[in-house]
Chains A and B, each alone.
Chain A
Amino acid sequence: MTRKRSAHINLNRMRKHFSPKPLAIGVASVFLAACSSDRQDAVVYNNADDCAQDNPEQRQACETAYQQALAEAERTGPKYSTQSDCESEFGSNQCRYVNNSSGSFFMPFMAGYMVSNLLSPNRYMYQPLFSSYSPYSPYRYRWMTADGLDYGDIRKRKYRVPPDAFKAKPSATRTIKRGGFGSSVRAKSSWGSKSGKSGWGG
C-alpha cells in the first residue's frame, strides 16, 4: 500500500531550541579550534609577491589567484556611498572609489588573500580578505571575509579551514534606499483582528 504521507522527516533539522528569528547581523567568528578531517591547510598572503616568496615554484599560480581574488573582492566586498563612511569602518586611506557595472561607491582595499592547494595549479582555491585600521571597528587588525566572518589577528597566517571557507561570497552592492515594500501592511494592520498571530498569508 502506498503511503499518502511523507515517508521520512529529518527531525534534527526541525528541532529548534529558540523561536524563529532573523539571522543575527554582525560579527561571526570562525571556530578554528574545532578539528575535523575534511579541513585543509590555508595560508594568508598580503599580495602575489608575498605568496611567491613562500612558494617560488608557484609564482604563476600566486599571481593568477591574486588577480582573481582582487576581482572577487570588488564583487563581494563592503560598499559605501561616501569616503568618510568607508574610512570610519576601515581607517583613513584604506578606501578607494570604484565605478563598475553594479554602480559607483567607496570600498576598502583587499588586505590579503587566503589560498589553498597552490601545488595543484588547476585546483587552487582563494578567498579575498579585508582588514580594518580604524579604532572604531571591531575588525581592527583582524582578517575578515566580505560577508563579515572574522579570521582573527592579522599576524596569524596559517589556518586549517573547512572546504566552505573558499565558497564564493554573495555579490554585495550599495543600497540606495530601503523600505519600499510593506506600506500596504502598515495601512491595513489596524484591522488585524486579534493581531499578533495573524499575518498576510491566507
Chain B
Amino acid sequence: MFRIASAPRKGWQQKAKDFGFTFHSMYGEPYWDESAYYQFTLQQIESDLESPTEEVHQMCLQVVDEVCKSEELLERFQIPKAFWQPVADSWKNADPSLYSRLDFAYNGKLPAKLYENNADTPTSLYESGFWQWLWLQDQVDTNKVSRHSDQFNSLQEKLIERLSQIADHYQVNQIHFSSCQDTIEDRGTVQYLQDCAAESGLDAPFVFIEEIGLGESGRFTDARDHEIVSLFKLYPWEFMQREEFSEHIVGSQTNWIEPLWKSVLSNKALMPMLWKSFKNHPNLLPAYFEHELAQCEHTKIVKKPIFSREGANVSILENGKPLLTAQGPYGEEGFIYQAYSELPRFENNYTLIGSWLVNDQAAGISVREDTSPITQDMSRYLPHIILG
C-alpha cells in the first residue's frame, strides 16, 4: 500500500461539471483530490479487505439477530419501544437491504481494524462507484498508470443489479428516492442511485424528505400527491423513529430501503456487542458499553455517541482525560468506548478505508484522508488502483 503523487487530469473540473459531480470542492477546500492516489496489491485487497469485509458483515448480522430477539438489547440500542416489534419483524421477514460501508483502519500490513459500520445512510457513493472508476479509465487511456492497473470497485454494477432484485422482491417497477433539502452532497448521492435504478429499468422519482406527505389512504405521498410504495431514504432511522410521522411508518406499508432492521446494524452499540461475541477477532477493536468500562484495560480510548455522523462528538481520551474532541450535536442517547487504534499515516495524512457492501457482497473501497486523526465531513477523497 503506497501513496503515489500524481498529476491531476487536465480539465477534470469541466468533466466533473459535465457529469454533474457538483460537490468536488467546497468553500475553496478540495474534497475530491487527485494529486495523489493509493496503490494496493491484489493480495492486500482480497485477503486484507475483501474477505474481512464479508466476514465482519456476517458477524454483524449475527449480532442483529441476537438484538432483534431481546427487548433488553433493543433498549440498549436506543430503539424507541414502538419500533421493537417492527424492527424485529423486518429482520424476520428478511426485508432486502441495498448497501453499507464498513470503515477500517488499515496500513497495508496489519489486519484491518473495524472503526464503525455505516449501514443506514452511507455517502461518498458516487465518488466511489463512478467518479474514481472514470479517473482510472482516463489514467489508463493516457498511459499515466500501467494498463494492468485495476481498481476494487464493482459498486455501480452491483447497485444496478441489486436495485433490480429489490424491485422484483416487492414486485414494483418504481422506487421513490429521497434526501434532505439544502445538501448537495446528499442530493448527488441520491441522484446517483436514481441513475442506477433507471439503468435497471425502474422508474425513479425524487422527493425531499421534508416534502413527504401523509395521504388519506395511509400511505406516504410525494410532492405530486402520488403514493409512495417503495422509498429509498438517505435519512437516518434514528431520526425518523423520533419525528412526527414516526407513528405512520409501519401503517404506511412502505417498502423501506434501507429496511428497519438497519437501525440495529448502523448503531454504534453494535461495536461492544461484536467484541463480546467475537472477542480477539483480528479485525475488531476492543469495545465496551459505559457500564462495562471497568473491564477496559486500555489507557487510550475513543468515546463515540451511539448515534453520530461524520465523526461528530467523538473524543479521544487518555486516562479519562480528553486529548481531542470533535464538536457536534450528538450524544444524548449515550456513548460507547473503543480502544484507540491510530489511523495509519501517509505523509502528513491520516488515512481511512471505507469498504463497501452491496447486500452481503464486498463491492469496493474508498480512501479518505484527513489532517486530524478523527476523520470528519471535510476529509478528502483520493482514488486508488490495484497493481501487482
Contacts and interface: CB of A to CB of B under 8 A. Distances in A.
B353 interface: no
A123 interface: no
A5 B312 contact: no
Contacts of B29: 194
Interface in A166-191: 170-185, 187-188, 190-191
Nearest to A184: B239
B283 interface: no
Main secondary structure, interface of A, reads loop
Nearest to A7: B157
Contacts of A188: 329-330
A200 B235 contact: yes
A90 B29 CA distance: 52
A120 interface: no
A14 B130 CA distance: 9
Contacts of A190: 329
B149 to A, nearest CB: 10
Given A6-B157, A184-B242, A198-B185, A178 B226 contact: no
Interface stretch (B80-88, B210-218, B270-278): B210-218
A36 interface: no
B216 A199 contact: no
Interface residues of A, number: 57
A16 B244 contact: no
A185 B174 CA distance: 27
A13 B20 CA distance: 11
A35 interface: no
Nearest to B18: A15
Given A177-B213, A190-B329, 11 more contacts: A4-B154, A6-B133, A15-B19, A19-B20, A23-B206, A172-B224, A175-B213, A178-B210, A194-B378, A199-B183, A200-B236
A117 interface: no
Nearest to B205: A23
Interface string A86-106: 000000000000000111110
Interface string A43-79: 0000000000000000000000000000000000011
7 contacts: A6-B155, A171-B217, A174-B215, A177-B214, A180-B245, A198-B377, A201-B309
B152 interface: yes
The 8 closest A-B pairs by CB, nearest first: A103-B216, A201-B123, A180-B245, A16-B20, A199-B186, A199-B183, A173-B215, A175-B213
B344 to A, nearest CB: 21
A181 B31 contact: no
